[in-house]
Amino acid sequence: MAAAQPRLPAGAAMVRRLARGCWSAFWDYETPKVIVVRNRRLGFVHRMVQLLILLYFVWYVFIVQKSYQDSETGPESSIITKVKGITMSEDKVWDVEEYVKPPEGGSVVSIITRIEVTPSQTLGTCPESMRVHSSTCHSDDDCIAGQLDMQGNGIRTGHCVPYYHGDSKTCEVSAWCPVEDGTSDNHFLGKMAPNFTILIKNSIHYPKFKFSKGNIASQKSDYLKHCTFDQDSDPYCPIFRLGFIVEKAGENFTELAHKGGVIGVIINWNCDLDLSESECNPKYSFRRLDPKYDPASSGYNFRFAKYYKINGTTTTRTLIKAYGIRIDVIVHGQAGKFSLIPTIINLATALTSIGVGSFLCDWILLTFMNKNKLYSHKKFDKVVDTLGQHMGQRPPVPEPSQQDSTSTDPKGLAQL
């Protein structure tokens, strides 16, 4: 009589079963099993999910997004601007050389529409502006000699002196005098400014596709002398009226000219290079870039000075605070062209995604249908390899749920 084998501890038995399961999972092979379930509602859900996935890939992915193309964003770009026009203030005629900064014309150009002039400033001592914080005083004790206020106009001398007008007093400073105090001469240049014209010459290049194009199509030398931009009739004439730009940005020209502001001219080059070159056209849009409704940061102004000498010895200057309309030209774009690699990738993704319908319907059957257990028994079968019989092992007896699934079942899936 054979000796009884010692029983393994419970923990060791569990470890052995786990090891056998892992080994079995490593060597087992799973293959799909096709079962026809005659259920109209489930079949309708299955086909509708497949149809929606197919429509998504055909319409959105391939037609709208053009995912069959290789694309490139951010073209290399060059911009040249030129402003023309004259205007008048109360007592002077202004030309381009005076109201356009910087004069060389790049992607940013400022057109002066109003100025505040502080004339005949010389180096010396004078009262500080009352607009400077803590500049008012009652005696010399309120002014510290040598003190420098970064928001002020100069270095304090330590004296409290009468202001330019009125009964107030401010600390004396060593600076360009008289200082700017808000009572300077005011000149409005915006009366004729809406008729100024701005030439915006733009060329782009997509290096990946070796494609270049500009926003001027005509080869005639005098073409730009007689044209004005129109999106419908003349889209390749990049000459814009300043009033047209401000209007398209949704702004009031008089208000903008008085306070100043920043207007963006956005040029979009979205090109489908599978079509002809004539289909790649620039699209212009205009909007205000500075925060209009934020009093602390709206508007646009800057200062500059013009220097000259009197009698060849004394250096004087005219300080100008200029308000204007700054034009920022911004270029965006994307080009696309058919490529086999993204086409194959997106087709494979589409075909794989169609299987989501089957996964969804299987989940519904296994979770919500009345006979979900019967479906589970029919769907998952386990077949044991008979190789163990040749090695002297006795094949395991299959459980009732693992017997031949092809046997007739009077209450089978036909009733699902």
| Known binding positions for ATP | 82-84, 197, 301-303, 321
For strands 261-272 and 314-338, give the pairing.
parallel
- Helices H, strands E: what count in the chain? 9, 16
Helix ranges (H only) for 2-139 are 10-27, 40-55, 96-99
CA distance from start to end of the chain: 55
For strands 69-73 and 314-338, give the pairing.
antiparallel
Short-list 159, 128, 163, 154, CA closest to 142: 159
By the 8 A CB rule, do 239 and 195 touch? no
108: three-class secondary structure by DSSP = strand
The Cβ-side half-sphere exposure at 252, using a 13 Å CA radius, reads 5
Task: Taking each helix axis as running N to C, give the angle between helix 356-367 and helix 40-55, from 0 to 180 degrees, rounded to the nearest 10.
Answer: 150
Three-class DSSP labels, 60-99: HHHHHCCCCEEEEECCEEEEEEEEECCEECCCCEECHHHH
349: three-class secondary structure by DSSP = helix
Binding residues: 82-84, 197, 301-303, 321
Distance CA 333, CA 270 (A): 5
